[in-house]
Amino acid sequence: MKKIILLFAVLLQTTAIFAQQRAQTAELFLEISDRGKFTVYLNEEYAGSSQGRFRFFEVSDPNPVLTILQENRPIFKQRIRLQTNKRIIASYSQRRGFQISSALAVLNRGQYLLDDWDGNLNGTPGYPDGGYAMNPEDFKQFMNAVRAEHFDKDRIRVIDLALKNNYFSTKQVGEIIRSLDFEDQGLDVAKRAYHVTVDKNNYYTLKNSFKFLHGQDGLMDFLKNAPSTR
């Protein structure tokens, strides 16, 4: 009984610490109304979008540098101000420049409040689901950045930055896995990429991305315990 009480206390403490850490970060959601192909960086973090909407989660720097590129040409670079526990909804156009339209509370008593843009989930916790997979041009640019690194640890650093702010298709995740030298690393990436994959029903096909049984079986075991997509 004492062990159960102790375990429960540890879980409560861990949850409180996690919520506190989340409350100390911010989010930036940026919409670009101009036509064209854009890439957005917040400090070193990259976000791609085929819909003109760019999302950055858990930003710890209150004054990050926002950089917008059009066709790989910088058109905007400025240090902006974020607020902790706030989602900043902003827009950019070459005519009006950068504008902040609203600042929404992200957490309330440790619960995630917001949907995938500027609406409220009525207290339902969890990150936004759905979204669009990275478009082919953005994905090609991303993979070029991954392959430019010589070691898996450096490739994974680039991959993790992209996983934080983008959605992927199963086919794209397979290409990411195959870019790594070691299958253990690929399996770890496959597990982390699952929650930002738009077609989870096809995830079992990633088995073909692994050459050895360890990776294949590891993926199948992971999928057995993954949440149902139905």
User: CATH code at 100?
Assistant: 2.60.40
**Residue that finishes a domain, picked among 128, 156, 173:** 128
**d(C-alpha 165, C-alpha 48), whole Å:** 8
Task: Give the pLDDT of residue 124.
Answer: 33
Residues 72 and 142 in one domain: no
Residues 89 and 180 in one domain: no
Residues 120 and 173 in one domain: no
Residues 171 and 78 in one domain: no
**Residue that finishes a domain, picked among 128, 153, 176:** 128
**This prediction's pTM:** 0.49
**Residue that finishes a domain, picked among 90, 112, 128:** 128
Residues 150 and 219 in one domain: yes
Residues 117 and 152 in one domain: no
Task: Give the pLDDT of residue 95.
Answer: 87
Residues 123 and 142 in one domain: no
Task: Give the pLDDT of residue 120.
Answer: 57
Residues 119 and 47 in one domain: yes
In a domain, 17, yes or no: no
Residue 24 pLDDT grade (very low, low, confident, very high; cuts 50, 70, 90): confident
Task: Provide the number of structural domains found in the chain.
Answer: 2
Among candidates 164, 216, 141, which has minimal Cα distance to 186? 216
pLDDT-above-70 percentage for the chain:
78
**d(C-alpha 133, C-alpha 88), whole Å:** 23
φ/ψ of residue 167, rounded to 5:
-110, 155
In a domain, 6, yes or no: no
In a domain, 114, yes or no: yes
Instruction: Read off the pLDDT of each residue in 157-186 and give the average, rounded to a whole number.
Output: 91
In a domain, 171, yes or no: yes
Task: Give the pLDDT of residue 42.
Answer: 94
Instruction: Read off the pLDDT of each residue in 95-111 and give the average, rounded to a whole number.
Output: 81
Task: Give the pLDDT of residue 104.
Answer: 85
In a domain, 18, yes or no: no
Q: Is the pLDDT of residue 121 over 60?
A: no
Residues 46 and 92 in one domain: yes
Digit-coded pLDDT (tens) for 28-65? 999 998 988 899 999 999 888 878 889 998 899 999 99
In a domain, 3, yes or no: no
Q: Is the pLDDT of residue 13 over 60?
A: no
φ/ψ of residue 67, rounded to 5:
-125, 130
Task: Give the pLDDT of residue 35.
Answer: 87
Task: Give the pLDDT of residue 109.
Answer: 63
In a domain, 2, yes or no: no
Residues 157 and 74 in one domain: no
Mean residue pLDDT across the chain:
81
In a domain, 66, yes or no: yes
Q: Is the pLDDT of residue 173 over 90?
A: yes
**d(C-alpha 178, C-alpha 31), whole Å:** 32
In terms of residue numbers, what domain contains 116? 26-128
Digit-coded pLDDT (tens) for 175-192? 999 999 999 999 999 999
| Chain CA centroid to CA 221, Å | 24
Q: Is the pLDDT of residue 20 over 60?
A: no
Among candidates 126, 190, 135, which has minimal Cα distance to 167? 135
